[in-house]
Structure 1
Amino acid sequence: MQLAHFSDLHYAPDNLIESDRCFSFAVSDAIERGAEVGVISGDSTDHRLDAHAPSLNALATQVHRLANSMPVLMLQGTFSHEPPGTLDNFALMGGTHQIFVADRVAQVALIDGRFWASKGPVFSDDELRQFIDLKPEVVFTCLPTVNKGQLAASVGALEAGTGLGDVLAAFLAAAGRVNRQFRASGIRTVGVSHGTVNGCTTEHGVVMAGFDHEFSLTALFDAECDGFMLGHIHKEQQWERDSRLVAYPGSIGRFHYGEEGDKGYLVWNVEPGNTTATLVPTPSRQMICVDFDGPPDMARLEEIAAAAGDKFVRVRWQIDEEHRQAVDREAIKALFAGAADLKVEARILPVVRSRAQGISLETTVEGKLARWCDLASVEADPLQERLQLLASGDAEAIAASVLERIDSLAQPLSLAVVLPHPAASTPALEDAAPAVEPQPAKPAAAASTLDWLNDDLFAA
């Protein structure tokens, strides 16, 4: 049985062109290949969308087109991307075939093109016997995004982070006991969920390792599904055990700079004990990321720009604060004028000046003083001696000692006696200049009167 597995469509105004180009291609390809069931494993939208938003209309158009060719199962994804209730209207958009919205933990059987859900998290014994007799085409174990707030309210905030994995593992083990009976009867079993597998790799090459992730591979394989379809991680990857598969298709398009690998959807061929999944690449946008440890190399950028064409380009560099003006941003923009988009990011490294490098690492005043003397090229012994004196002596005693030392070192000053020299003698009286007789002082100027205040200022 062939199933088309799509995930992380992220329809939104900013992503509309990329999402719709890639998803419409994937829908057309799945229809041409004759896929029998379509599965969207979460995050169909990127955030809350208005009913009149063009991006929501475009998503509905493609999902309806898919439902005209095959039954479709849509899983609730991350609440921040798909607020609860977002998918409810899609259940009304079915065409020739039904669209089933999996927004609760349940098992769902596909019988003659119709979905039948369990009343509880898994099929009861009565339901199990009934559906085994009906021979469904496939049985889905649906595990949508779990509300961690509700989990914290039930088990406590401290255990919610690590306890989620235990709760989900317990459910998957219970579902595994049911799925084992379906598989023994020759009925295909497929798991569908949205979350992070411990040890998976993100689209940026980061390994997700920790205790707060939703799934472990052991727990997923314990569900006893022929194939387990996952969403949330944007990088395609697969794990195999005993001819059973767990796989992410990755995001349908390339939404961020630096994403690794091809984008696309998975074509699954599911049979009990023999399951395969093949990635079909979509025409996602091509991105070029150029990083420099220092200022950008304009010659290298010129070579890259020649082949940039309609690609999306990001140029990053880091530079000291003192040289930030040396980078010509306008010249970089001019080089990539023909690119589909250009993003320039500069990381400015602040200048850190240390007046006495390493002095803060010393734990004693003596050590700090010695470090400063070393950096300042000052002889340390005299200063250390005085530091010890300050630490152990009395202030008045220190002052008296300093004054006593000054007195002992003082030398009497010799006074130079300057004898009169004939050349410096007083000139003879007869050669003296005649005395200047004092001139009578001029009478003071008459005080100005204030008569002008009474005059006609405008007189001719």
Structure 2
Amino acid sequence: MIRIAHFSDLHYGHKTLAEADRCFGAAIDQAIEARVQAAVLSGDATDHALELHAPAALRLMGQVKRLAEHCPVLMLQGTFSHEPPGALSVFRLLGARHPIHVADRIGQVVLSRLGQWLPSDAWRFDMLPSAPLALFTCVPTVNKAVVAATIGATNAATSVSEHLAALLAGFAPIHREARALGVPTVGVSHGTVFGSISEHGVPMAGFDHEFTTGALFAAEAAAFMLGHIHKHQGWTRDHGAGVQCIAYAGSLGRFHHGEQGDKGFLIWEVDADTASFELRATPARRTMDIVFEGRPDLVALRDVVAQQSLSGTSVRVRWTVAEEDKQAIDRAAIQALLGDAAEVKLEGRIVPVVRTRAAGISQLTGLADKVRVWAQTTQCNPKPLLGCLDRLMSDSPEAIAEAILQDSTGSSACGCEPASDEDCVVLSEHACA
């Protein structure tokens, strides 16, 4: 049996450095304490392309070197937008007590009992090297652009999963051979499993996902360690000869608001025919979403603040208002109420005003006729509008203003029912014209 620490989706970057480094550092401490014999990073160690002198790159290399001082490390190529091709090559040059293997092509690698990585020359071994401690099958991120260029863009999405399924089935014979010799077998990949759940609770049910659980189980590896989805989840199958496990470690930190589930890494125990894993939590940041259907209620917001401490919490306030109310949002007051939070994000959704056009209104010559057609289109009562219009047309502005100032009954100056704000705006526009 071999004990392996499985880390994934570290996402070291300029903006994520504090969260990523705090969580990865704590995870390495726990892995060393657990006396793991090997460590696997299953993709997306970086959040974007990093220059070598960038603080995030230096911290990541320092942490990986610290991990390699304890045990051999395997790093898998992740999503190209996060880890550009070749971004992991520098880790091969880190000098540590134990070697670091970078898996940036499809292939297999044996961890020997002497602690050395012995990679296959081709996509798989024809015969296992001597004294293997464990066999790792590596399937890094597939470049779909290459697939599209080869077979055409129309069929590229579905063809990737079909070719990967055939590839995984091709690893089964060597895995069976290793199992017969008592050697633990481990698959490592980065991609989406059909039916998995994203960190925001969304089922991954598209036709362009790389894997199915059936295809992964068909490889007949005892353990399959996955990266890419930030929510920890797993699948288990007892195939008679033993227990197979597939699992996402999830992201080490909480990098976005609304992410569900605990954050951490996995401690695997893998034997020739069985596998099991345990989630170990990391000190990921706490996030909170406060959502208002209309304008933010400062009283309700004050109650939320009074009920719990926001120290160290990243708070996101969301609201939805009509376009005419967007200037009424007091962002400074919201920021002041949430002053104890580690981070405050204000996100307002503005619902645009939709105006209905009255067909044929431009062909009418009389203003009163235009008001009647407009009122019919917008389902307004035309009587108060026409009354106000008559007053606008017959009296001077001074007389109308004086009548409004003297009026104390709440009725309109023309003696009709008060018109709505929108009606008054329209009438004012006509009067000005």
Contact residue 72 and residue 98 of structure 2 kept, 8 A:
yes
- Residue 178 (structure 1) aligned with residue 180 (structure 2): no
Contact residue 356 and residue 378 of structure 2 kept, 8 A:
no
- Residue 262 (structure 1) aligned with residue 262 (structure 2): yes
Aligned-partner residue type, residue 264 of structure 2 = G
Per-residue deviation, 1:376 = 8.3
Aligned to 1:140, the other structure's residue is in SS state strand
Q: 2:318 aligns with which of 316, 319, 322?
A: 316
Aligned-partner residue type, residue 40 of structure 1 = L
| Residues 333, 141 of structure 1: alpha-carbon distance in 2 compared, 3 angstrom cutoff | same
- Residue 191 (structure 1) aligned with residue 187 (structure 2): yes
| Residues 171, 323 of structure 1: alpha-carbon distance in 2 compared, 3 angstrom cutoff | same
Any idea what the Cα deviations from partners look like across 1:134-162, whole Å, max 9, x if unmatched? Answer: 24111000000111111112222211111
CA–CA distance in 2 between the matches of 1:65 and 1:258?
Answer: 32
Aligned to 1:276, the other structure's residue is in SS state strand
Partner of 1:274: 274
Any idea what the Cα deviations from partners look like across 1:248-305, whole Å, max 9, x if unmatched? Answer: 0111101111111111111111112321111111001111111111122222211222
Per-residue deviation, 1:310 = 2.0
Partner of 1:7: 8
Aligned-partner residue type, residue 147 of structure 2 = L
Partner of 2:104: 103
Aligned-partner residue type, residue 318 of structure 2 = R
- Residue 333 (structure 1) aligned with residue 342 (structure 2): no
CA–CA distance in 1 between the matches of 2:282 and 2:325?
Answer: 43
Contact residue 356 and residue 375 of structure 1 kept, 8 A:
no
- Residue 89 (structure 1) aligned with residue 85 (structure 2): no
Structure 1: 5+ residue runs without aligned partners?
A: 358-368, 379-460
Per-residue deviation, 1:374 = 12
Per-residue deviation, 1:184 = 2.0
Q: 1:163 aligns with which of 142, 159, 162?
A: 159
| Residues 376, 310 of structure 1: alpha-carbon distance in 2 compared, 3 angstrom cutoff | closer
TM-score normalised by the chain length of structure 2: 0.80
Aligned to 2:171, the other structure's residue is in SS state helix
Partner of 2:248: 248
Per-residue deviation, 1:356 = 6.2
Partner of 1:411: none
- Residue 80 (structure 1) aligned with residue 81 (structure 2): yes
- Residue 44 (structure 1) aligned with residue 40 (structure 2): no
Contact residue 24 and residue 62 of structure 1 kept, 8 A:
yes
Per-residue deviation, 1:373 = 9.2
CA–CA distance in 2 between the matches of 1:374 and 1:274?
Answer: 70
Partner of 1:288: 288
CA–CA distance in 2 between the matches of 1:122 and 1:374?
Answer: 71
Of structures 1 and 2, the larger Rg is shown by 1
- Superposed, 1:45-444 pairs within 5 Å as 45-111=46-112, 112-124=114-126, 127-128=127-128, 131=129, 134-242=130-238, 243-306=243-306, 307-355=309-357
Partner of 2:364: none
| Residues 271, 305 of structure 1: alpha-carbon distance in 2 compared, 3 angstrom cutoff | same
Aligned-partner residue type, residue 226 of structure 2 = L
Partner of 2:33: 32
Contact residue 106 and residue 121 of structure 1 kept, 8 A:
yes
CA–CA distance in 1 between the matches of 2:358 and 2:212?
Answer: 51
Aligned to 1:28, the other structure's residue is in SS state helix
CA–CA distance in 2 between the matches of 1:135 and 1:25?
Answer: 33
| Residues 95, 326 of structure 1: alpha-carbon distance in 2 compared, 3 angstrom cutoff | same
CA–CA distance in 1 between the matches of 2:291 and 2:35?
Answer: 44
Contact residue 8 and residue 252 of structure 2 kept, 8 A:
yes
Per-residue deviation, 1:71 = 0.3
Per-residue deviation, 1:233 = 0.6
Per-residue deviation, 1:355 = 4.9
CA–CA distance in 2 between the matches of 1:373 and 1:183?
Answer: 77
Per-residue deviation, 1:85 = 1.0
CA–CA distance in 2 between the matches of 1:340 and 1:22?
Answer: 17
| Structure 1 outlier segments of 4+, above 3 Å | 372-378
Per-residue deviation, 1:375 = 5.8
Aligned to 1:137, the other structure's residue is in SS state strand
Partner of 1:416: none
Structure 2: 5+ residue runs without aligned partners?
A: 360-372, 383-433
- Number of equivalenced pairs: 360
Q: Percent identity?
A: 51
